[in-house]
Amino acid sequence: MNEGIWNGETVLKKAPKRCPKCRSKALEVGYLPDFDEYDEERAEECGIERDEWDSRFAYTYETFSCDECDHWQAYGPRLYFDPVSGDYDENAKPLTPREQYLLELKQQEEAGQLRLL
């Protein structure tokens, strides 16, 4: 399943073996572009106002570029900015309050501290 649209192109699930435009195998994969996007929807769910900016909600994707036709496109999961490491990471996605609550319930249940009736 594709993650969505990014920079006007469909985000691919994984890096392709051939360029989807010219079918060349001359691809450079696994680099991050020089820009990122801001996940406004997730930020709002976490209580961040629209006029505020929080680096935890900046995200990007790994990309590939074709040496033959210069086409480039994103693939893989969203990589969110981790302010602690200063890098982008799939596991740095900030949790919404609902996601945090469900995670805590799951952890309590796994630890035997919670019994669901």
Q: What is the rounded CA–CA span in Å between residue 67 and residue 12? A: 18
pLDDT at site 40: 92
pLDDT per 10-residue tile (average), the chain, 117 residues: 70 93 95 90 91 92 95 94 94 93 89 67
Q: What pLDDT does 117 receive?
A: 52
8 A C-beta contact, residue 48 and residue 38: no
Rounded Cα–Cα distance for residues 55 and 48 (Å): 11
pLDDT at position 39 = 92
C-alpha of 1 from chain center: 14
Contacts of 32 (CB under 8 A, 6+ apart): 60, 61, 62, 63, 79, 88
Distance CA 11, CA 15 (A): 10
pLDDT at 5: 80
In sequence order, the β-bridge partners of residue 89 are 80
Which residues are paired to 60 by β-bridges? 79
pLDDT score of 1: 32
